[in-house]
Amino acid sequence: MKLLYFAWVRQQTGVNEECVTPPNHVNNVAALIDWLRERGPQYARAFEDVSALRVAINHELVDFDAKLSKDDEVALFPPVTGG
C-alpha cells in the first residue's frame, strides 16, 4: 500500500510518501490511522486530532470507514485550500 502525506501532515510525519504493508485487520481508513499512530511519535502527533484530516483512496476523497486494498494509493492531508 502506498501512502502519501501533504501539507502539515507531511511535515509532521516527516515523510512525503512511503510503501507499507499493514496487517490484515487494517482493512479500512480508521484502522489504518490507528495503526499508523503506533509507528512512532511523529505519526502519533500527525494523527492525534483527525477532525481536520482528509483521506483520498486512489485520488477519490473517502470517509474514514472506506475499505482498503493492499494495492491502494492512500493520501492523508488537511482540508484543501486551492483557488
Partner 1 sequence: MTVRIQEHDFDVNAELAALTVGQHHVGGLVSFIGLVRDFGELQSVASMTLEHYPGMTEKILGKIASEAAERWNLSSSLIIHRYGYLEPGDRIVLVAAASEHRVSAFDACEFIVDWLKTKAPFWKLEEGNGNAKWVTARMDDTAASARWSVKK
| Residue of the chain from 26, 33, 56, 74 that contacts partner 1 (CB under 8 A) | 56
| Residue of the chain from 1, 6, 30, 50 that contacts partner 1 (CB under 8 A) | 6
HSE of 77, CA atoms in CB hemisphere, 13 A: 18
Residue 76 interacting with partner 1 (CB under 8 A): no
Shortest approach of partner 1 to residue 24 CB, angstroms?
27
Rank residues 7 and 44 by Cβ distance to partner 1 and give the closer one. Answer: 7
